[in-house]
Amino acid sequence: MPFAFDIFKVEEPTMAFVVLLRRYNIELREAQRIIDRGRVICNGKTVVGKNQLISGNVKVLRFMPKSRGLKPIFWGNGFMVFDKPSGVLVHPKKVITPYSMLDEVRFFGGEKANGVHRIDMETSGLFLASLGREHEIKLKGMFEKKEIKKSYLAWARGNTPDEFTVDAPIKNRDDYSTNKHKVEISSEGKKAKTKFKKLLYSKDLNASLLHVEPLTGRTHQIRIHLFHVKHPILGDPLYGTSFNVAEAYLEERLSKEERIKYTGASRLMLHANTLEFKYGNRYFIKSKKGLRIKN
């Protein structure tokens, strides 16, 4: 498990945040976050304030990355890029999460390295990570200002038009009693626009392989936009299935065979294929993997 206790002794009474700053060479905000999350224990009691004086036996719950051999495919000045497999979380949801991309990011980039954008667990493909806080702030800002261009590959049900654009606002749902969609198309939502181009159509699969360019960055944007035009992504257990199938998936009751039966694939057939941006030099980075359907 990546989280483990660092155990040591503090001889003289010292403010908790100072202990953390000295031991881990971190910023004050990070020390505050560790304390606020109850991850500092002194003589068996949880430390509750950054200015609390502590001495004696101290335990700090820290993220200790463990690599599974997923090396970066590209190193730049201040960043690195991974080709993420489907099924891997970008960041651990809980302390007990056994593995996430953060393990690889911190293993290869050090404890101040971080991912700088979101990518769904089941989406495969390019994942950009920063090397240090300064680069993290800059790269996240570039994503917010749409200065980093992304494209995807997706297998969608049916024979789509050759080229089409979906311009439909997206709103986060707060009621899952009628369906399990995380987002919905709504006039009350935020502007969202996606361009699609068909690369090929498979009669055997009755599915189209699409080149996808999201012009905005909303949650589940590609998934909801394709569902909206009645061409949901193969393997999508939420958008394009019944309430019962979606619920079974979320409760981890949906078998692989059932998922293939109801969605057409054993995983979400969405792949982050390219990244294009200027960061000192101009970069165009393409995934080394394709998007093959292997059930």
DSSP string, 95-123: TT----HHHHHHHHH-TTEEE-S---TT-
Q: What is the pLDDT of residue 295?
A: 61
In a shared domain, residues 226 and 128: no
Distance separating alpha carbons of residues 146 and 144, to the nearest angstrom? 5
Choosing from 98, 123, 145, the residue where a domain stops is: 145
**If you search the block for the tokens 């700088």, which residue do you land on?**
116
What are the residues whose beta carbons fall under 8 Å from the beta carbon of 12, sequence distance 6 or more?
55
* Residue written as token pair 């390219």: 274
Rounded CA-CA distance 40/35 in Å is 6
- Separation of alpha carbons 79 and 135, rounded Å: 7
User: Is 167 found in the same domain as 111?
Assistant: no
For residue 46, the SS3 value is: strand
Q: Which of 62, 83, 111 is the last residue of a domain?
A: 62
CATH label of the domain that carries residue 49: 3.10.290.10
Which residue from 237, 149, 153, 150 is spatially nearest to 196, judged by alpha carbons? 153
The residues, any chain, with a CB within 8 Å of residue 37's CB and separated by 6 or more, are: none
Is residue 285, in this structure, part of any structural domain at all?
no
| Domain boundaries, position 44 | 3-62
Find out whether 152 and 86 touch, Cβ atoms under 8 Å.
Answer: no
Query: How much is the pLDDT for 93?
Result: 86
Let me know whether 169 and 81 are in one domain: no
| pTM over the 0.85 mark | yes
Distance CA 151, CA 80 (A): 18
What is the predicted pLDDT for the residue at 27? 87
**CATH number of residue 266's parent domain:** 3.30.2350.10
The DSSP call for residue 154 is: E
Q: Which amino acid is at 227?
A: F
- Tell me, yes or no, whether 85 and 101 share the same domain: yes
DSSP string, 48-91: --TT-EEEEEEEEEEE-----S---SEEETTEEEEEEPTT--SS
pLDDT at 1: 60
Residue 258: its H or E element: helix 256-263
Task: Verify that 256 and 160 share a domain, yes or no.
Answer: yes
Options 6, 120, 167, 236, the catalytic residue? 120
- Say if residue 203 is in the same domain as residue 253: yes
Residue 249's pLDDT is what?
94
Residues 193 and 174 in one domain: yes
End-to-end CA distance of the chain: 30
pLDDT at 243: 94
The Cα–Cα gap between 120 and 88 comes to 9
Tracing tokens 């690599």 back to the chain, one arrives at: 67
What is the pairing mode between strands 207-214 and 40-42?
Answer: unpaired
Q: pLDDT below 70 — which residues of the chain?
A: 1, 294-295
Q: What is the pLDDT of residue 3?
A: 87
Name every residue whose Cβ is closer than 8 Å to that of residue 228 and which is 6 or more positions away in sequence.
Answer: 166, 168, 185
- The pLDDT tens digits of the residues spanning 45-81 come to 999 998 999 999 999 999 989 999 999 999 999 999 9
User: What distances in angstroms separate CA 195 from CA 12, 103, 218, 251, 284, one per listed residue?
Assistant: 62, 33, 14, 33, 19
The answer to whether residues 138 and 169 belong to one domain is: no
By three-state DSSP, how is residue 133 classified? Answer: helix
> Any catalytic annotation for residue 120?
yes
Q: How many domains, the chain?
A: 3
Same-domain pairing of 113 and 161 = no
